[in-house]
Amino acid sequence: MNPDIPLYEQIARSIEARIISGELPVGANLESEATMMAQFEVSRATVRQALARLETKGLIHRSRGVPTTVARRTIVRPTEFHSLFEDLVGPGVEIDTKVLVFEYIPCSREIRRLCREFSVGEPLAHFRRLCLVNSTPIAVFETWMRESLVTFTKPDLEKRSLYQLITESGVQMVRAHQELGARRCTAEEAELLDSEEGAPVLTMTRSSYDENDELVDFGIHVHHADRHVFTQDLVRRHPQ
């Protein structure tokens, strides 16, 4: 044990490492409090502090009278200009992308209503992707971009993030405008996200722009509500 780190924090980190590595998969039971007390040679209060820490991070479920279990992973994302892939890359995280739609279409009036920077009839590329983390579906991405910007194939998109592919084509994205919302999921979304029709989902509408302030892509993202947390740092400005 490290004397510079509280005992409960060391215990929490030890259990978290087992969860991230897959040694303790989703749904697995943790040892009882009595077993942990003996294993780590600490008091019940210290064990409960460690479990409370893990519960706060969304790693475990605790209920009175039943064993503590490993929870589904909750994705914590800062509201910065990153792709989901960039936010998730790390040890113990396996990301899989299923490309459901990869097509070239003319811009319809409906798409034009969604994104005013496209023109009706303009050639567009349209992608729909399902993102899974450690085999768990967490989000559906719907993206439109000008056909002339697409230099990659469907197999490329299944192996790499869209932003990586765009950047490697020579386009530098420097800013984005996005709106976060919530609604009930459709039957199709529920099937893809392993959820129920009408269950809450988080939505993100994002327009990305290059260094010349030209639109690069427009996307509508649907996130499993109980597997995502978006964080923001707020600054209060005081009048001079």
What pLDDT band is residue 190 in, cutting at 50, 70 and 90? very high
Reduced to 3 DSSP states, what percent helix, strand and coil does the chain have, rounded to the nearest 5? 30, 35, 35
Predicted pLDDT of residue 59: 84
Task: Answer for the pair 74, 55: CB distance below 8 angstroms, yes or no.
Answer: no
Confidence at residue 80, expressed as pLDDT on a 0 to 100 scale: 57
Q: Are 59 and 19 in contact (CB under 8 A)?
A: yes
Please list the residue range(s) of the chain that carry CATH number 1.10.10.10: 7-70
- The percent of residues in the chain predicted with pLDDT above 70, rounded, is 87
Architecture of domain 75-231: 3-Layer(aba) Sandwich (3.40)
Mean pLDDT of 151-171: 93
pLDDT of res. 5: 84
- Token pair of 103 as six digits: 């097509």
Q: Is the pLDDT of residue 84 over 90?
A: no
Query: pLDDT value at position 74?
Result: 58
**Are 132 and 187 contacting, i.e. CB atoms less than 8 angstroms apart?**
no
For 50-83, what is each residue's pLDDT tens digit?
999 888 877 888 888 889 998 876 555 555 555 6
The residues, any chain, with a CB within 8 Å of residue 46's CB and separated by 6 or more, are 7, 8, 11, 40
Between 229 and 113, the higher pLDDT residue: 113
Architecture of domain 7-70: Orthogonal Bundle (1.10)
In this structure, are strands 95-106 and 123-133 parallel, antiparallel, or unpaired? antiparallel
